[in-house]
Amino acid sequence: MDMETSSQLVKPVPAVNTREVFCRAFPKHVTLIEVGPRDGFQFEEKIVLTALKLEIIMRLVEAGFKHIQVASFVHPGKVPQMADAEILLSALSGIPGIAFSALVLNMAGVERAISSKLAHIEVSISASNRHSLNNTGMSADAALKMGLKMVALSKEHGMHVRAGIQCAFGSGYDEVISEDRIAAMAKDLVTAGADMLCLADTTGMATPLTVHQVLCSVRPVAGNLPIIMHLHDTRGLGLANVMAAMSCGVSHFDTALAGMGGCPFIQGAAGNIATEDTLYLLSSLHIETGLNLSKIAACSRDLEVFFGKCFPGKLYRHCD
Amino acid sequence: MDMETSSQLVKPVPAVNTREVFCRAFPKHVTLIEVGPRDGFQFEEKIVLTALKLEIIMRLVEAGFKHIQVASFVHPGKVPQMADAEILLSALSGIPGIAFSALVLNMAGVERAISSKLAHIEVSISASNRHSLNNTGMSADAALKMGLKMVALSKEHGMHVRAGIQCAFGSGYDEVISEDRIAAMAKDLVTAGADMLCLADTTGMATPLTVHQVLCSVRPVAGNLPIIMHLHDTRGLGLANVMAAMSCGVSHFDTALAGMGGCPFIQGAAGNIATEDTLYLLSSLHIETGLNLSKIAACSRDLEVFFGKCFPGKLYRHCD
């Protein structure tokens, strides 16, 4: 067979769009919820004055965020950085179209949220018995019962409720937290009226496989409610976990400016996934976020100067 | 229809093994090539004496490595840390079953490798015209021609040749380096006799999508030859890129102890992906490596003390 004949026999191969093939597994649009002003600041000793918080939050709004977690109703003695929760939320109440949310960990927090006429609340409980006992003095079962009451009471007062499960990917203690347990908790929280679910990798232990496994269990009970992933980058797997979650259909992530934050109760549970690095990943996958990277990174650089320390995020120093 | 009838109509759903489903996309075994003693050390000013290099290398062998890049035949005036290449390789020549490799960037390097009776050589050239001109004074085309001669000469002298392409995922300069260009270079290197290909993200610009795209182009020309990914974690995407590469069939990665290293010619091209963090990811995916994490991390901690600085790896301080 000569070359000409051979070439005639070969059917033309249609050009494969490798970008389209690869990106098909991921959502077209992702919502980032900035948690730096809450989860980032609460980890720092140097107090951020309310005026500076407001300035940063307004710059985040300017950068395109529609969801910002700005405070938590916790005891000011335990977390002094959050002592101005009421004042801050009141100052932000006149700004339309943005969900400024606050975290609550107990009924006293819900009561404060009600008094503050909070519109967006995050109720959060731990799936780990040991973690729950250490932080709240309650067993995980007791915490869940309380959590369901918190959700119900918040709904009664017209709040949009996000229900968070801490330690959803492990606690670091010598205990097994099965994905069935997480799914059962999620189901109860949905039944109690939650509008969104949040799965928190409080201890930075999630891996792409466990993200996949927990989401396989939780998604069926979540129905159409959004699942938010709250990930830390303790072991360098933060963005690999984002990819695993997106390939399971998740399109909502908590992120913090410059990768600030952590868990004051668990040593080594370093930094939330950095807003800038996550945004870079999403942008590289042609996923829309509506966010302006350089405006966000400018906030991070200003906070680096304010706190006088480097944060673990990799990109924020390099985007103008 | 009563419950019993309904239940009889429902076919039993086979239990899905979510781990099996998720891990199916990845190789069962991955080979890590430790490049810390070359790519890590060369970035440091403090000279590592040959005796300490030998101690670390022997501990890496003890930890299970079969491939370690230990030196480069570059000008000792430019990279003083590599001045003992011949002495080091000679000292290691009596150890059977381990591939101790060295990097060469020009014909003078190949000549030195021949004189040293090196068995495993890495020939490396840049796909970026600007990067090549800046570092070698040669255009990318001229560098490729030289690279092909280097591969051929190394093969003539019985060496196992790994052919590396620098800047395979971008250079940071204002130029486009298409995946077709990388595939064409790879094809030429394979034709010249390369035994393995290495795609280097010299500037830390790779993203999961570009990893996928470049591999889609290069794999067909590589045939059965292994493709090694040499990744940096400049923007937090290091391990996400490992996952993307594995899902394209790659099972060989360069890693460096504690995420040491970088590129002395490109600012901000921080750290190779850390051996310990990569190992943690692979282990979480139930991928075999034959490596002992705690022995590796112990080397990294000793190097941290020796160099008196923290490295970017996240896990090495925490695994005993």
Mutate to test the interface with A, among B314, B315, B318, B319 (most CBs of A within 10 A): B314
Complex-level ipTM:
0.90
Element (H, E) at B100: strand B99-104
Cβ contact (<8 Å) for A268 and B23?
no
Q: Which of B235, B237, B284 sits opposite A207 (nearest CB)?
A: B284
Q: Is A319 an 8 Å CB contact of chain B?
A: no
Sketch out chain A's domains with CATH numbers. Answer: 29-318 (3.20.20.70)
CA distance A10 to chain B (A): 17
Backbone φ, ψ for residue B156 (5° rounding):
-55, -30
Q: Where are the beta strands (DSSP E) in chain A?
A: 31-34, 67-73, 99-104, 120-126, 160-166, 196-200, 227-230, 252-255
Question: Chains A, B: CB contacts under 8 A, how many?
Answer: 103
Backbone φ, ψ for residue B162 (5° rounding):
-105, 125
What are the pLDDT digits (tens) for B260-308? 986 555 555 578 999 999 999 999 999 999 999 999 999 999 999 999 9
Nearest residue of chain B to residue A23 (CA atoms) = B209
Does B263 qualify as catalytic in the annotation? yes
Distance between CA atoms of B73 and B83, rounded to whole angstroms? 8
Distance between CA atoms of A147 and A135, rounded to whole angstroms? 15
Report in angstroms the alpha-carbon separations of B295 from A268, B65, B287: 21, 11, 18
Q: Over chain B, what is the mean pLDDT?
A: 92
Q: Is A306 an 8 Å CB contact of chain B?
A: no
Dmax over Cα atoms in chain B, in whole Å?
87
Distance between CA atoms of B5 and B14, rounded to whole angstroms? 20
What are the pLDDT digits (tens) for A249-306? 999 999 999 999 865 555 554 789 999 999 999 999 999 999 999 999 999 999 999 9
Distance between CA atoms of A58 and A132, rounded to whole angstroms? 34
Nearest residue of chain A to residue B240 (CA atoms) = A240
Q: What pLDDT does residue B319 have? A: 74
* More confidently predicted of A73 and A311: A73
CA distance B129 to chain A (A): 24
Q: What pLDDT does residue B11 have? A: 58
Cβ contact (<8 Å) for A234 and B314?
yes
CA distance B93 to chain A (A): 36
b/e B48-74 (16+ beta carbons within 10 angstroms → b): beeeebbebbeebbebebebbbbbbbb
**What is the length of chain A?**
320
What are the pLDDT digits (tens) for A189-205? 999 999 999 999 998 89
CB count, 10 Å around CB of A16? 9
Q: Is the pLDDT of residue A85 over 70?
A: yes
Nearest residue of chain A to residue B207 (CA atoms) = A284
CA distance A299 to chain B (A): 18
* B18 interaction partners in chain A (CB closer than 8 Å): 212-213, 216
Q: What pLDDT does residue A266 have? A: 52
Element (H, E) at A155: helix A140-156
Q: How far does Cα B223 stand from its chain's mean position?
A: 19
Q: How far does Cα A230 stand from its chain's mean position?
A: 3
Take residue A186 and report the two structure tokens written for it.
């999620």
What are the pLDDT digits (tens) for A24-80? 999 999 999 999 999 999 989 999 999 999 999 999 999 999 999 999 999 999 999
Mean pLDDT of B94-118: 97
